[in-house]
């Protein structure tokens, strides 16, 4: 039986993300000890503290719905392929930005149903703000005292094209593709904040021509969709989740207004 997606559930998940954010900031202020995973990617005590808060909070909120977290991802595809619904979590998205202390890191919690993100919360520990959205409920930005404002992607875009790019994974090849779109302004930032800038109507487009994992994108993907945008692969198909053994995403495009043919610009990039 699927969990009921309503404002109460969205508020509870937002609260869990904020509690994880408080734990992250405690460690951020004290000093950061960096460890490394088997693939040499960085790991901190903040990742682990956030993971435990989120997993325990969701287990209490929705008993019986499994969780897949970046910090506990060794679940066989044979097991998770049977999941119709599950929580997909990145306890600290932007660990590199956390270590650099630039504030551009987030807590990401998504509910996946039938391979699509149907609810998502992206919390920004440094500012205390959150973005959230769900099917049928629209998308909101929550300020640091809990006041919610409805957000929408901008359709049609006005003025020069605003493109968001990754701060830690800049791709030199991207510039030649963007040149085909005409005049544009490029904003660079870390973590899932790039999706959120599109969701709140401050940017038109975020192309990702590099590796990401499913937990990196799912929560912010839900926010963009709830705000009226879309996330597609380079062949124009919806980005979907938990369809294969690998948890790596294909390259993708985050689009506010699909009146412009972004997909055709990147055709043949596979």
pLDDT tier at 16, thresholds 50, 70, 90:
very high
The answer, yes or no, to whether residue 56 has pLDDT greater than 80, is: yes
DSSP 101: T
pLDDT value at position 129?
97
pLDDT tier at 42, thresholds 50, 70, 90:
low
What one-character-per-residue DSSP string does 148-167 give?
EEEE---SS--SSEEEEEES
Domains and CATH numbers, the chain: 7-150 (3.30.540.10), 161-265 (3.40.190.80)
pLDDT value at position 156?
76
Element (H, E) at 184: strand 184-189
pLDDT value at position 168?
60
Report yes or no: 198 and 232 within 8 Å, Cβ to Cβ.
Answer: no
Residue 91 gets the label, from left (phi > 0), alpha (psi -120 to 50) or beta, of: alpha
Give per-residue pLDDT as tens, 150-183: 999 998 766 788 999 876 655 667 777 888 888 8
Distance of alpha carbon 214 from alpha carbon 80, whole angstroms: 13
pLDDT value at position 269?
65
Q: Are strands 34-36 and 42-44 parallel, antiparallel or unpaired?
A: antiparallel
Report yes or no: 206 and 164 within 8 Å, Cβ to Cβ.
Answer: yes
Measure CA of the first residue to CA of the last residue in the chain; give whole Å: 38
pLDDT tier at 266, thresholds 50, 70, 90:
confident
Mean pLDDT for 51-79 is 96
pLDDT value at position 234?
93
């Amino acid at each position: 039986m699927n969990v009921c997606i309503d404002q109460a559930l969205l508020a509870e998940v937002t609260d869990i993300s904020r509690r994880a954010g408080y734990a992250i900031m405690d460690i951020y202020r004290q000093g950061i000890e960096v460890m490394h995973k088997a693939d040499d990617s960085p790991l901190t005590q903040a990742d682990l503290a956030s993971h435990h808060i989120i997993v325990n909070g969701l287990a209490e909120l929705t008993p019986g719905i499994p969780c897949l977290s970046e910090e506990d991802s060794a679940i066989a595809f044979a097991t998770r392929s049977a999941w119709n619904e599950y929580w997909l979590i990145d306890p600290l998205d932007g660990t590199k930005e956390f270590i650099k202390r630039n504030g551009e890191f987030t807590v990401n919690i998504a509910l996946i149903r039938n391979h699509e993100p149907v609810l998502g919360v992206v919390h920004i520990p440094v500012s205390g703000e959150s973005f959230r959205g769900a099917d049928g409920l629209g998308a909101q930005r929550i300020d640091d005292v809990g006041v919610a404002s409805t957000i929408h992607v901008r359709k049609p875009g006005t003025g020069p094209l605003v493109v968001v790019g990754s701060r830690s994974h800049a791709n030199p090849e991207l510039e030649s593709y963007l040149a085909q779109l005409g005049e544009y302004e490029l904003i660079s930032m870390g973590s899932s904040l790039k999706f959120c800038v599109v969701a709140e109507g401050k940017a038109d487009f975020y192309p990702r021509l590099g590796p990401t994992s499913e937990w990196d994108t799912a929560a912010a993907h839900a926010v963009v969709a709830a705000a009226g945008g879309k996330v597609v692969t380079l062949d124009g198909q919806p980005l979907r989740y938990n369809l294969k053994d690998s948890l790596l995403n294909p390259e993708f495009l985050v689009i506010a207004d699909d009146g412009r043919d972004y997909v055709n610009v990147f055709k043949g990039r596979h």
